[in-house]
Amino acid sequence: MKLRPLLLALSVSAAVAGCSKPAPDTAATDKPAATQNAQSPQARADQLNKLYTEFWEATLKNNPVLATFTGDTRYNAELPDFGSQQYRDEQKKFLQDWLAKVEAVGSEGLTGQDLLNYEIFTKDAKDQIESFQFPGWMTPVNQMDSTASLAVQFGSGSGAQPFKTVQDYDNWLARGARIPVLFDTEIANMKQGIAAGVVQPKALMEKVVPQLDALIKDKPEDTLFWGPITNFPKEFSDADKQRLTEAYRKMIAEQLMPAYKKLRAFIQDEYLPKTRDTFGLDKLPNGAAWYAFNAKQSTTTDLTPAQIHQIGLDEVARIHGEMQKVMTEVGFKGSLQDFFKYVQTDKKFEFKSQDELLKYYRGLEAKVNEKIPTQFSVVPKSPFEIRPVEPFREKSAAGGQYYPPSEDGTRPGIFYVNTYDLPSRKIWDAEDLYLHEAIPGHHFQIATQIELKDLPAFRRWSIQSAFAEGWGLYAESLGKDLGVYTDPYSYFGYLQNELWRAIRLVTDTGLHSKGWTRDQVIAYMKENSAVSDTTAVAEAERYIAWPGQALAYKIGELKIKELRAKAEKELGAKFDVREFHNEVLKDGAVPLAVLEQKIDRWIASKKG
């Protein structure tokens, strides 16, 4: 998806993927305050809801970038120094204080959403507090995400930062002027990382230098930060246009470009020589525990890296068997590896132009929407758009990426399609990618969640990765019911992407817990799937940059499929797929254990 891992890392919210298991529907076992017995359950729920509201308000004030991302414009001119020791200390205390406030009220007598809110809040807050033991702040830059790339998205007008009013333009002048401060802190943090032996792999940082080179220009007018000036709203006065043009030229020339050059010089001259030739997180101090923690966070389970690795191997073998059936259907003679080579190299599977690729995806939107009522009774209200990935980040970006809508509906949900290296973007890969990233995948799940106004804001903006990515992969399995996969090669594309998520379980755990190298991962991908060299390299380096993130997809999908099979078996003729999908989505993203208990209760209610 990829749901802005950097932004989430900056967030002081407790809305981070946790591995919580809900308490029983009876009283909580701990009673931290005398008020446990003094209050009625409704009074306790009301008090907690008030705290959740106050917590979210404080969160947005502490993290103006998160506020902007959600569509809240109050803090658009502000940019704290997220990487500083002071901010990190304040962030930890912030979470500890709010956790104490919520636990002081307690969960005795709570049921339904009230209990769900309490359990998710407290467990996620504890998990994020626990994460402070791991020095992620020492490695703030990689080829997938950095403040440098996020700043460009915001400052170019292509991200969440609005440029509709004169005040919007002045807001970015104030916020943009803070970028050099953040870069200086990140440089200092990377120096501490060098001293502590906590550094990025060389293979990643070698990709960062050309990314920065692409952003650094001699003339402000040639930078991506000039985008807002090029696209002034028509109603701006000539005086405002002139003032802002000069102010932006000065900021870009005297503050932003020098800061980017300084960061680039540090990485090239000082940092790269100190990077490591290893790849796994387990090769860093306390790295094995760090990766095990990441795996639990990503999957919201207690599965160990070794268990996840074996699940991956088993799924790879199963899906290979399904692919053999497609080979038989199309009459292909040869091995599975021969078939992989055929679908990767035959020109008939290639788009002729970027325009053709984008037109194909936009045609899928209409085609899929015709069948949506057969699978869904509730759909999000938020608008939706398809856009190409911006040129400055297309070389390292995934094939598709979803960007959530704003809460007020002014910014649509966006499915970014990567048009870089066009021959690697296969026609047979388009339908499943659309279902995953767009409709009914991430757009349905995330936009629906944001629209759940009765839930506390920390729930509406929560990213439970196993649920969100599991839903995206599960959505791919609905293709035939939604009128696609009519071509066996497109169905192979679905199998290839399911296989890809299984391979992620093998390779991510291989990299970070079994000593696999980058080249070993690439070789495994190419031996076991129809993957281009471009994709194999980008994906391998993504897993190195984001340890554990890739585990969420397959683990989440397997759980949703397991729960659907259970519901179909137990309900028989009473099973309605539209009701099942609504039940899965109607409470937003939740840990997988919570989802399982929720579906079990739904099955029991339908039987009655």
**Binned average pLDDT, 10 residues per bin, the chain of 608 residues:** 37 29 33 57 97 97 94 96 97 98 96 91 94 97 93 92 97 98 98 98 96 97 98 97 98 98 98 97 97 95 96 98 97 95 94 95 95 95 91 78 85 92 93 96 94 91 90 97 97 95 97 97 94 88 95 96 98 97 94 92 91
The SS3 of residue 403 is: strand
What DSSP string describes 286-328? THHHHHHHHHHHHHTS---HHHHHHHHHHHHHHHHHHHHHHHH
Closest among 22, 17, 13, 87 to 52, alpha carbons compared: 13
**Element at 194 (helix H, strand E):** helix 179-196
Angstrom CA distances, 101 to 98, 225, 465, stand at 5, 42, 26
State the Cα–Cα distance between residues 397 and 542, nearest whole angstrom: 9
- Residue 530 is predicted with a pLDDT of 85
With 0-12 CB in 10 A as exposed, 13-18 as middle and 19+ as buried, what is 182?
buried
What residues form DSSP beta bridges with 385? 414
105-to-16, 37, 52, 100, 123 alpha-carbon distances in Å:
22, 10, 12, 9, 15
Strands 400-403 and 384-388 turn out to be: unpaired
**In Å, how far are 137, 158, 221, 236 from 248, measured between CA atoms?**
30, 17, 10, 15
First-to-last C-alpha distance (Å) of the chain:
39
**In whole angstroms, how far apart are CA 428 and each of 343, 392, 487, 540?**
8, 26, 9, 22
For 374, the enclosing helix (H) or strand (E) is helix 354-375
pLDDT score recorded for residue 37: 54
| pLDDT of amino acid 430 | 96
**How many Cβ atoms sit within 10 Å of the Cβ of residue 273?**
9
Residue 390 has a pLDDT of: 84
